[in-house]
Structure 1
Amino acid sequence: MTAPLSLYWWNDAMNFGDDLSREIVAHVSGRTVDWAQKPRADMVAIGSVLQGVRRQFKDGPPKGKKIRVWGTGLMHPVPTDFLPHVRMHLVRGPITATLLGLDHDRFGDPGLLASDTFGDQGTRRDRIGFIPHINHVDDPMVAEVLAAEPRLFLIDPRRPARAVVAEIATCAHVVSSSLHGLVVADSYGVPNTWLDPTGIHTNAALKFYDYAAGIERPLAPPLKLGDLPGILGRLKDRPLAYLDGIEKARDALRMSFPAALRADAPAMAG
């Protein structure tokens, strides 16, 4: 298995969460990973891309092979007509599983394996990382809060995963409107808070609750940007209360990765 593994991820713009998919799959599989369109890909991993998988596979595998799904999630309900034409190894959380009618009892977002993939990133610093979703980075309200709050350290998500992970892992606390800002922080045991800068987190909320339920994490409604300055001094750096849920998900991710896609897979592995 020396040929590159073909993986689909959203690549319309640089976004660390999508680049994270490539890095983590390469680490777990032991193979080089190349981007491929969904009909030609071996698998999908990080991201809410099952809607697109459904569109491509509802009438059967376009290229004659079933794409493998590992840790992927939904953004909204979809018909389940594509399920006979894909291989479901693991989904992100129980909301995705319920919407698809899957009888799964283990879940996980592959981003939880960031600490396995990138390793120790050094000593934590006394700073609060602020990670906007790529759609929020240039919002004037975000810029205003950052300018007024020297305690906030901007972590720009429009960079490769390796650079962003290194900054998240060394924060005392992370505030993020990017799901994978929270996921990577969880991977490194960094306390974190969900933020919704615009106050219009509608359909996107499903992916946050899906992920949180998958690791047995109580998740409060997102913090509004205007409330952030008033609570900065109260953000805690205590150990995560749901570490057991994180470890269960990490074990599920490691065990469910398709054996046939690993570098050491036997020639006829299924």
Structure 2
Amino acid sequence: MSTPLKLFWYAREANFGDALSGIVTAFASGRDVVHADPKSAEVFAVGSILQIVRRTHPEGRAGGDRPWVWGSGTLKPIRLDFVPHVRFAALRGPITESLLGVDVNGVYGDPGLLVADALGDRPEREDRVGLVPHLAHVDGPEVAALLKADPRLKLIDVRQDAATVCREIGACAHVLSSSLHGLVVADAYGVPNTWLDPAGIHKSPRLKFYDYAAGIGRALPRPLSFADVPEHLPRLPETAPSYADGIAAAKAGLLDAFPAELRRERAA
């Protein structure tokens, strides 16, 4: 029987995007996963967590053990002293790759793209538009005003259980999101989606969106402001994303690149 795989994900706040990491890493590895301290984790996956990897790996671990990075990203340029002390199987996108000065042979993608396959069931599509605000926006007045103004909008709260959030996104006709993983999960389910302005969520809020989009070949126009949503609601597209081939390629690449040594142990 396989021992649980030690995975780090950011768990200080209830946020489904971070919690996706356990679901998709268990799927890719065929093993149970447990949350681990970054200094003892075997793998890092979903999220802009390379700053944490850097802070915890300025030097190599005792015994020379090097953890894996599989699909993680960064929010900004960071010091590179940690790079020799970890191994890179895949990165979220080419911007992260360039900032790190490493080469992952074109294996890009947020592992959250695998969540629809990991959960298995496909929700029945409903005639509603999902509003997925980032954690920093969810309780804000702009969100409250939008929900009051249009009954077709459904709030999808990122503080819920990750599987619940994913299934709610998968049931939408369209998704509006200032959360990166709102877009990622919509892409995973083939739900058309629109990027909402992420202003205020980080110091460099747009980098991770462009990084992800570049990794799957998605053109990403300027984000829509919350104030402009009512004007755009009547003409939101409800057809499958035009970059579906890029999504499929990223998913296949992520699965192929998952470290063999971390996959389920086979009986002799």
- TM-score bin, normalised by smaller chain: over 0.9
Q: Which moves more between the two structures, 204-213 or 255-264?
A: 255-264
1:146 match? 147
Q: Name the SS for the 2:39 alignment partner.
A: helix
Give the SS at the match of 2:131: strand
| AA aligned opposite 2:155 | L
Equivalent-residue separation in structure 1 for 2:2 and 2:201 (angstroms): 45
- How far off its partner does 1:103 sit? 2.3
Report the CA distance shift for 1:197/1:92 in structure 2 as closer, same or farther (over 3 A). closer
| Aligned amino acid, residue 240 of structure 2 | P
Compute the displacement of 1:62 (Å): 6.1
Q: Secondary structure at the match of 2:80?
A: coil
Give the alignment's Cα RMSD to 1 decimal.
Answer: 1.7
Question: How far is 1:3 from its partner?
Answer: 1.1
**Correspondence for 1:189:** 190
Note if contact 2:107-2:257 (Cα within 8 Å) is conserved in structure 1: no
Q: Which amino acid aligns with 2:160?
A: R
In 2, the alpha carbon distance for the partners of 1:48 and 1:266 equals 35
Q: Which runs of 5 or more structure 1 residues have no equivalent in the other structure?
A: none
User: What is the CA distance between 1:139 and its match in structure 2?
Assistant: 0.7
CA distance in 2, matches of 1:53, 1:25: 17
Change (3 A) 1:195 1:29: same
Please state whether the residue corresponding to 1:196 is helix, strand or coil: coil
Per the TM alignment, residue 202 of structure 1 is displaced from its structure 2 partner at its CA by 5.0
Contact 1:39–1:67, Cα closer than 8 Å, also in 2: no
**Alignment correspondent of 2:3:** 3
TM-score by length of 1: 0.94
The alignment covers a number of residue pairs equal to: 267
Other-structure match for 2:20: 20
Alpha-carbon contact 1:157-1:164 (below 8 Å) kept: yes
Identity %: 53
Determine the structure 2 residue equivalent to 1:136.
137
- The answer as to whether partners of 1:173 and 1:191 remain within 8 angstroms in 2 is yes
Partner of 1:38, secondary structure, is coil
Go from structure 1 to structure 2 and tell me whether the alpha carbon gap of 1:192 and 1:40 turns closer, same or farther (over 3 Å shift).
same
Q: Cα–Cα, structure 1 residues 62 and 159, in superposed 2: closer, same or farther, change >3 Å?
A: farther
Paired position in structure 1 for 2:247: 246
What one-letter code is carried by the residue in structure 2 that aligns with 1:177? S
Q: CA deviation at 1:112?
A: 0.6
Matched letter for residue 102 of structure 1:
V
**Distance in 2 of aligned mates of 1:131 and 1:152:** 10
